[in-house]
Amino acid sequence: MVERGEKELIIPFDIILLLFVLICAIAAITVRDLLSAVMILGAYSFFMCLIWAQMGAVDVAFTEASVSAGVGTILMVAAISKTTRRSKD
Amino acid sequence: MIQKSDDIIIKTLARILVPFIQIYALYVIMHGHYSPGGGFQGGVILAASIILLMITHGLKDTQKRMSEKTVAILSSSGVLIYAGIGVVCLILAGNYLDYSKLAKLLHVAPAHARSLGILGIEIGVGLAVMAVMFSVFFDISRGEVSQEDEDE
């Protein structure tokens, strides 16, 4: 797994990934278009998956990538196709 | 959304990709007990391959390969495999899901019997998860079709 001794290389990587997660989370709840929100949520799940893999939890990363970024996004897109694409609030 | 796609590139690419996704899903399921992955993740990837087929080739072509009846049979047989292995362990005078008791039935060492028992559980979980994940998507998209029929 990741060598925790090489902190000079890994810590900036962590901070960049966490920044991306934060940006994706804020964008997903502020954007008006629901289809865009679902796509940003998929990107959020994928960055979370990278963080899990970087921390050594490969099994959790696998579940996050397949369930949340894969099938979850598909199901939400299918739900949007049955309802409206614009958010009312 | 669930009509057959007119684009030949999309249809051909999906037809090429689907078998490879399914082989990968089977790999994840079969190696679940000693590497990352397992029944749940493999089942979800297997369902994703069928959902890809449904998005590109339409509802009717997918229904020919995977009808509602097949989905019901697969999901219930997955649960049956899981519970059946547990009950067989109970019958062989062990606890529920105590795989080492399967050694008498399979004629192998208890450690090997544990590995085989977990593999059987993974296969059952994979089947059930695949069928249920596909069934959820199937129901959402079929509801859309019936609504369109009412409008016409």
pLDDT tens column, B9-64: 999 999 999 999 999 999 999 998 888 888 899 999 999 999 999 889 888 888 88
Q: Let me know if residue B115 belongs to a domain.
A: yes
Mark yes or no for CB contact A81/B37 under 8 Å: no
Number of domains composing chain A = 1
Q: Let me know if residue A2 belongs to a domain.
A: no
Q: Let me know if residue A1 belongs to a domain.
A: no
Q: Let me know if residue A48 belongs to a domain.
A: yes
Q: How far is the alpha carbon of B13 from chain A, nearest alpha carbon, in Å?
A: 18
Q: What is the domain range of residue B124?
A: 8-151
Bridge partners of A7?
Answer: none
Query: Tens digits of per-residue pLDDT, A9-59?
Result: 567 888 999 999 999 999 999 998 999 999 999 999 999 999 999 888 899
CA distance linking residue B63 with residue A59, whole number of Å? 33
Count each helix (H run) and each strand (E run) in chain A, helices first: 4, 0
Separation of CA A75 from chain center: 16
Q: What is the domain range of residue A48?
A: 7-81
Residue B40 in contact with partner chain A when CB distance is under 8 A: yes
What are the chain B neighbours of A67 within 8 Å (beta carbons)? 40-41, 44
CA distance linking residue A76 with residue B111, whole number of Å? 43
Q: Let me know if residue A62 belongs to a domain.
A: yes
A75 vs B28, B36, B136: nearest CB? B136
Q: Let me know if residue A64 belongs to a domain.
A: yes
Q: Let me know if residue B27 belongs to a domain.
A: yes
Q: Let me know if residue B23 belongs to a domain.
A: yes
Q: Let me know if residue B3 belongs to a domain.
A: no
Which ipTM value was assigned to this complex?
0.78
CA distance linking residue A67 with residue A49, whole number of Å? 11
Q: Let me know if residue B104 belongs to a domain.
A: yes
Mark yes or no for CB contact B144/A81 under 8 Å: yes
Q: Let me know if residue A89 belongs to a domain.
A: no
What are the chain A neighbours of B39 within 8 Å (beta carbons)? none
Number of domains composing chain B = 1
Q: Let me know if residue B2 belongs to a domain.
A: no
Q: Let me know if residue A70 belongs to a domain.
A: yes
